[in-house]
Chain A
């Protein structure tokens, strides 16, 4: 079939297979995130953050990715609480927080290599950069929802990213994506059209509104 040759053709034209897979996996991960929001009810705030974290996990490995992510969050939060006292304008304030996060990340890389703790290669500068930059989003969430809400959110996003991570690194799916790239694209669009019109309760809402639901009187029961 010529569908199969779509991938072959692109690879033949000098597009690296890895890039091709990543770009085709992106809509799948995006769909998982959309599903998690609309049907399951994971709050999240945008599609970008879990996406970046998922790909970061993919490039650094799950374990080190998690450690790095946790480190960035903790350092970011602590430095925010310290900087808050100075009552600075937003951008300079954020710049200081980013500075402290990148310094600590750098320091931890250095210490790790110095003591030879874990074998850790940094495959892409950009992915580390993207993760550091994510701290801005989390700070905004902290201001909006308080520490408690933002921790809950971080946990939710992490779980979501781990699930997405396992989906992308699934060999079978990789094959499917390479074999039927157009089908995957059509399918994700179709699923998202459905999700975009979904007005049912989210899974978490069944739990959140349990007291209300128990109180509903069905019309036939009178």
Chain B
């Protein structure tokens, strides 16, 4: 009980979100930008960030009368600027070739110019805006769903919500539209949210209505865990860029991945939902506090911090299931010398070699060059007899006792390569340690 209360201090609640993060980080100017879809889009586009194209804006009946309908492409989305819960949105997927050249909707119904006109006058009069105040209608590009995500979503477009604070992406979640949510990616309407490992962009836990689920509620019911978000690093970069441009200190950014154009910013949200913590099974306050006060100078730095600090969930899971440690291609190890003292050195993991090989000079420096046997090896340069020594080293907190070749490696980049013989208790992930210099746990 006491423990539970202690642990709960790491979770971000609504009170703290509003008082500690929303207000101090965001000026009223920033909040105004985020709340106005068209304004946010204009600012982001000006800075050269990918946003959905606006085909046209209609803000009064005069503009409606004079609108050039031929300027519209075959596929677009018609939206009210201050629409609520997705009401009043019309999506068309194509255009018929015969007179009167109507557009076609998902359910094969056709839409003619006259239909659009009456729909837009409704929007202008405020039929779909909550307050009933006059609204603005606009035509927007339709995001094309990427194939990888198709089996997981019902009708609409999944997006990736990333919470960014102080130029660092702090937590991410993929939001999938379901039948229950009416094809909208909103979690409070019944959409599915999946946590995302910040390091790799692979999905972890999934939730629907704040409860953990395993399979997507679609026809084929695919597993929601382990989906790789394409272009993950670019998605993260985009999120940080959006913060840099808008100067909104704390926000959630929604990014969709278009089949042809890649990641695109959909919307900014200064009051991001907090279920993202459940989808990641990770508290947000803890992460925010670790980021607070950091001076993040570049976008790449922000992305790197996020991947280093908050990545590694997938790895932990794999380690738990397999009982093996996940290591990268270049792994820091500690070799024990004759006195049992540890010496840090970077080793190359080489699954092509059977036996570990260490450089002669290092072996003699550590006084472990006591030759216990010789063995014939056939290499590219013909047959050769190599001496074998006893060696012990610690890799990823595991002690390995082994026998290694010694050879002259003074011309090589690494003084030691670790072979298959010593890798039986490890799994090698070639993607690891490419951007992570040290294990996230040590930071």
Partner of B19 from A41, A144, A199, A216 at Cβ < 8 Å: A199
Q: Are A201 and B130 in contact (CB under 8 A)?
A: no
Partner of B277 from A140, A149, A206, A209 at Cβ < 8 Å: A209
Neighbouring B residues of A208 by C-beta, 8 Å: 210, 278
Q: Which one of A140, A213, A214 has the greatest number of beta carbons of chain B within 10 Å?
A: A213
Neighbouring A residues of B84 by C-beta, 8 Å: 143-144
Q: Are B7 and A90 in contact (CB under 8 A)?
A: no
The residues in A between 44 and 101 inclusive whose CB is less than 8 angstroms from any CB of B are: 87-91
Q: A200-B15, A202-B13 are in contact. Are A212 and B281 (CB under 8 A)?
A: yes
A38 within 8 Å of B by Cβ?
A: yes
The residues in A between 155 and 214 inclusive whose CB is less than 8 angstroms from any CB of B are: 197-202, 205-206, 208-209, 211-214
CA distance A198 to B13 in the complex (A): 11
The residues in B between 107 and 127 inclusive whose CB is less than 8 angstroms from any CB of A are: 122, 125-127
Report A206 CB to chain B, min CB distance, Å. Answer: 6
Q: Are B14 and A205 in contact (CB under 8 A)?
A: yes
B410 within 8 Å of A by Cβ?
A: no
Partner of A143 from B11, B125, B130 at Cβ < 8 Å: B130
Report B141 CB to chain A, min CB distance, Å. Answer: 27
CA distance A66 to B14 in the complex (A): 31
Neighbouring B residues of A146 by C-beta, 8 Å: 189
Neighbouring A residues of B274 by C-beta, 8 Å: 209
Report B245 CB to chain A, min CB distance, Å. Answer: 29
Q: Which residue of A lies closest to B5 (CB)?
A: A206
B283 within 8 Å of A by Cβ?
A: yes
Q: Which residue of B lies closest to A205 (CB)?
A: B13
Neighbouring B residues of A145 by C-beta, 8 Å: 188
Report A151 CB to chain B, min CB distance, Å. Answer: 15
Partner of B283 from A88, A89, A199, A216 at Cβ < 8 Å: A216
Partner of A211 from B14, B20, B126, B278 at Cβ < 8 Å: B278
Q: Residue-by-residue, is B53-75 near A (CB-CB < 8 Å gives 1, otherwise 0)? A: 00000000000000000000000
A118 within 8 Å of B by Cβ?
A: no
Q: Residue-by-residue, is B260-298 near A (CB-CB < 8 Å gives 1, otherwise 0)? A: 000000000000001001100111001000000000000
A215 within 8 Å of B by Cβ?
A: yes
Neighbouring B residues of A205 by C-beta, 8 Å: 11, 13-14
Report A93 CB to chain B, min CB distance, Å. Answer: 9
B222 within 8 Å of A by Cβ?
A: no
Q: Are A90 and B127 in contact (CB under 8 A)?
A: yes
Partner of A200 from B7, B13, B281, B282 at Cβ < 8 Å: B13
Mostly, the A contact residues are helix
B218 within 8 Å of A by Cβ?
A: no
CA distance A90 to B6 in the complex (A): 48
Q: Are B3 and A218 in contact (CB under 8 A)?
A: yes
B99 within 8 Å of A by Cβ?
A: no
Q: Are A209 and B132 in contact (CB under 8 A)?
A: no
The residues in A between 137 and 155 inclusive whose CB is less than 8 angstroms from any CB of B are: 140, 143-146, 149
Report B131 CB to chain A, min CB distance, Å. Answer: 8
Report A210 CB to chain B, min CB distance, Å. Answer: 9
Q: Which residue of A lies closest to B211 (CB)?
A: A211
Q: Which residue of B lies closest to A220 (CB)?
A: B6
Report A116 CB to chain B, min CB distance, Å. Answer: 42
Q: Are A212 and B277 in contact (CB under 8 A)?
A: yes
Report A154 CB to chain B, min CB distance, Å. Answer: 17
Neighbouring A residues of B395 by C-beta, 8 Å: none
B435 within 8 Å of A by Cβ?
A: no
CA distance A143 to B13 in the complex (A): 25
B429 within 8 Å of A by Cβ?
A: no
Where the two chains meet, the residues of B that have a C-beta atom closer than 8 Å to any C-beta of A are 3-4, 6-8, 10-11, 13-16, 19-20, 84-85, 87, 122, 125-127, 129-132, 188-189, 210, 212, 274, 277-278, 281-283, 286
Could you jot down 21 A-B contacts, CB within 8 Å? A87-B127, A144-B130, A197-B19, A198-B19, A199-B19, A199-B20, A200-B15, A201-B13, A201-B15, A201-B16, A202-B13, A208-B210, A208-B278, A209-B283, A212-B283, A213-B4, A213-B7, A213-B8, A213-B283, A216-B11, A218-B6
The 3 closest A-B pairs by CB, nearest first: A90-B132, A216-B7, A201-B13
Where the two chains meet, the residues of A that have a C-beta atom closer than 8 Å to any C-beta of B are 38, 41, 87-91, 140, 143-146, 149, 197-202, 205-206, 208-209, 211-216, 218
